[in-house]
Amino acid sequence: MNPYVCIVVSDILLQDLLVKRYEAAPVEGGEGIFAGKISSEEETPLVIVSISSPEKRDEVLRQVFDNYQIQKVVLTSLVSTPHLDGDLKVGDVIIPNTYIDANWENPMFLEYAIGDNYDLQKFGLILSGVCQFGEATDDATDVVDAMTYPVLQYLQEKDMISNTVSIQIVWSHENSPEEVEHILHIIDLML
C-alpha cells in the first residue's frame, strides 16, 4: 500500500473545496475524515482531515495515524487578518517557519524544501514568518492561528515535523472563483 499524504483543515468551506477537488469520500466511522487520490502518474492516496473543534483534534489525528501510513502532512489554515507588513491580498499564502505558543515560549521550527524553480511572487507565496497560537500578544507575530501549534505538537510526537508543510491562506468569504482556484493551485503545489 502506498503511503498517504494528509491535508489537515480547520475550515468547513476549505474542507468542502478540497473534498470536491480530490473527489474524496467520507471514511466510514471517521467523522471529518475523507479519502481520495492526488491525480498524478502514481495516484498518491490522500486523506483530508477536518478538525472542526479543539476538543476533537487529538481524537481525529490519532484515528488517522492509527489507520493510515502518512508520508507527508499539509496543514492549511485560513486567516482573514494577517499581521505581516506588505501588500498582502486575498489568495496570498504565508508559509511560516516559526511557531510559538500563546506565551511566546516553546518555539517549533519547520524547514521547507521548496524548489528554486518556483516564482514565489507569481504564486503569492511568502516564505518565513512567525505564527502564534491563540491571540496576538506582540507586533512581532505575523500570523495568529488557533489550530496549527497544537497539531504541530502532535506531529512532533509522531516524528512527522520534517515531513510537514504549514500554510496560512489570506482568505475572505467573498473570494472570487479565480482567487479560490489560485489557493487550490498553491495547495496542489505543496502536495
Q: Class for domain 4-190, per CATH?
A: alpha beta
In this prediction, residue 85 carries a pLDDT of 53
Q: How far apart are CA 80 and CA 73, in angstroms?
A: 23
Label each residue of the chain as H, E or C: CCCEEEEEECCHHHHHHHHHHCCCEECCCCCCEEEEEECCCCCEEEEEEECCCHHHHHHHHHHHHHHCCEEEEEEEEEECCCCCCCCCCCCCEEECCEEECCCCCCCEECCCCCCCCCCHHHHCEEECCEEEECCCCCCCCCEEECCHHHHHHHHHHCCCHHHEEEEEEECCCCCCHHHHHHHHHHHHHHC
In this prediction, residue 86 carries a pLDDT of 58
Averages of pLDDT over runs of 10 residues in the chain (191 residues) are 88 90 91 86 86 84 93 86 61 80 82 52 59 66 77 92 87 76 83 82
- Kindly list the strands in the beta sheet with 125-127, ordered across the sheet, starting from the edge strand earlier in the chain: 25-26, 33-38, 44-50, 4-9, 70-79, 164-170, 93-95, 125-127
In this prediction, residue 118 carries a pLDDT of 46
Confidence (pTM): 0.83
Q: How far apart are CA 104 and CA 33, in angstroms?
A: 32
Q: How far apart are CA 96 and CA 26, in angstroms?
A: 30
Quick one: cell of 4? 498517504
Domain ranges of the chain: 4-190
CB neighbourhood size of 74 (10 A):
20
